Amino acid sequence: MNIEIFKKLGMSDKIAQIYQSLLSLGPSSVRSLAQESGLNRGSVYDALKWLEDKGLVSFYHKDTKQFFVAEHPDRLLFLVQEQKQEAERSEKELAKMIPELVALHHTGGDRPVARYVPAGELNSILEDVLFTCEHSEEKMYRIYSAEGVKEFLYEQFPTFSDARIAKGISVRAIAIGEGGELRGLDQRKKLSSSEELSTYIIIYPGKTAFVSLDRKKQPLGVVIENEGIFRTEKAVFDSLWDKI
């Protein structure tokens, strides 16, 4: 029998072995289970304790001996439901804690943390923008949109704007060059430049992402996580925004 499904329920190899032995043997003593499984009595006791706590095993006394018996296998389905409900409760509790954890993470040190993102994983930057903004108070980010770069960034996440709007996240964009369109919850201004710029910048809570083209016109992303850098970039952007 494949015990992988048992392991997904939290059983170790030894616990799964004892459980299967009980199913096949019927009511059994610790001694008989140890002989059947080849495990020492201490391991058998530990396994039975776990199974009993999960409601998969019960016991009774006969004469001076203690016998253990496996509950009906349907109990495994109840265990799955209990674990599912517990996971849902944990998810809700964790969701409430995320803003506090993010705040602690941002204040965990003054040294900026840089993460390099290769061309094939640029969508991870956009996913991080959505996640971070969704759990921030402002729910907004800012971008310098450079013509010729954004195509590389969004081609891996074509539904990004729809996901952003669905989460109620707004954006201010300063477009450098041609192109760009309004999709909802966004504002756009244009900045004229005599130079051809090849860096797309995203400024979002606690982080600043840069996507640039190398000499071979291949994109490379860098995400810098630092509250001080974020606030500086945000202040410069907002000042420029008000003047355009």
Match 């994109």 to its residue by tokens: 219
Instruction: Say if strands 186-191 and 207-213 run parallel, antiparallel, or are unpaired.
Output: unpaired
pLDDT tens profile 33-42 = 998 888 898 9
- Per-residue pLDDT, 203: 96
CB 55 within 8 A of CB 71: yes
Contacts of 71 (CB under 8 A, 6+ apart): 55, 56, 57, 58
Task: Give the Cα separation of 204 and 222 in Å (integer).
Answer: 13
Residue type, 72: H
- Return d(Cα 238, Cα 225) in angstroms, integer: 19
The pLDDT assigned to 180 comes to 58
**Distance, CA of 27 to CA of 67 (rounded, Å):** 6
Q: HSE (CB half, 13 Å, CA atoms) of 179? A: 10
Write the CB contacts of 67 (distance below 8 Å, at least 6 apart in sequence).
27, 28, 29, 59, 60, 61
pLDDT of res. 83: 84
pTM higher than the cut 0.85? no
| Cβ within 8 Å of residue 158, ≥6 positions away | none
The fold for domain 109-243 equals Endonuclease; Chain A (3.30.870)
Class of the CATH domain delimited by 4-73: mainly alpha
pLDDT digits (tens, 9 = 90+) for 135-154: 998 899 999 988 778 788 88
Return the pLDDT at 105: 63
Those residues whose C-beta lies under 8 Å from the C-beta of residue 137, and which sit 6 or more positions away, are 99
Nearest to 229 by CA among 112, 106, 109: 112
**Domain chopping of the chain, boundaries:** 4-73, 109-243
Low-confidence ranges of the chain (pLDDT < 50): none
